[in-house]
Amino acid sequence: MNRIAVSFFLLLALNFSGCYFPRFNFTGAPGGETLPEDVQTLSILQFDNQASIVVPSLTQTIAEDLRDVFQSRTKLRLVQNAGDMNLTGTISDYDVSPISIQGNDLASQNRLTISVHLEMECPSHEELAWKADFTNFSDFGADQQLSDIEDALIEEILRKIVQDIFNKAFGNW
C-alpha cells in the first residue's frame, strides 16, 4: 500500500511540475520550447539549385514541404519575405550512385542522395541564427528505372530532410 501511495504522489508531483517551468509550452516543436514573443513570422524563400543533376520541381517541392511543416507545427505566421525569421536554402547535391555490387561488377542496388544547405536568420535574435547541411538518401534496386520511382524516392528523402531541418530550427531553444 505504501508503494502505491508513493507512486501516486510521485506521478502527481511530476504532473504539476510543468507549472513551475514557464519557458515550456505546447507549441508542437520538439521539446515544446517557445520562441521569443517578438518572433512571430517566418519567411521561407525560394531555394536555389546548384546540384550537378537538376530536377526542376525539386526547389519548389522542398520549399512547399517546409512551409507545410512549419505552418502546421508552429505558431509562426508565414510571410513572403522579411519575416522575423528567414530561411534560405540551396540544393547542393542530387546524386545517383551504386551501393551494392554483385558479380560481373554490376550494381544490385543504387542510392539516390539529396543534400541541402540552409541558413536561418533572425535579425532580432542572433542566437537563433544557424547554417547547416542536411543530407538523406533512399536505396532502390538496380532492376528499377529511376524515372519510374524518382517521385516516390524524392518524397521519401525530402520528408526525412524536412524533419531534420525542423528539428534543427526548433529543437534547441
pLDDT of residue 99: 87
State residue 20's pLDDT score: 35
Q: Which helix (H) or strand (E) holds 18?
A: none
Q: What is the CATH number of the domain that holds 127?
A: 3.30.160.150
Annotate 127-150 with b (16+ C-beta within 10 A) or e (fewer). Answer: ebeeeeebbbbbebeeeeeeeeee
In this structure, are residues 48 and 116 in contact, taking their beta carbons and an 8 Å threshold? no
Residue 157, class by beta-carbon neighbours within 10 Å (0-12 exposed, 13-18 middle, 19+ buried)? buried
- At 22-38, the pLDDT tens digits run 333 334 344 445 678 88
Regarding whether 92 and 12 lie in a shared domain, the answer is: no
* Amino acid symbol at 13: A
Do 52 and 114 lie in one domain? The reply is: yes
pLDDT for 33: 52
pLDDT score at 96: 94
28 and 46 housed in the same domain: no
114-163 pLDDT, tens digit each: 999 999 999 999 988 999 999 999 999 988 999 999 999 999 999 999 99
- pLDDT at residue 142 in the model: 86
Give CA–CA dist 27/45, Å, rounded.
Answer: 23
Quote the domain boundaries for residue 15: 1-34
At residue 40 the predicted structure's pLDDT band, cuts being 50, 70 and 90, is: very high
**Are the C-beta atoms of 64 and 72 separated by less than 8 Å?**
no
Top-confidence residue, 1 or 47: 47
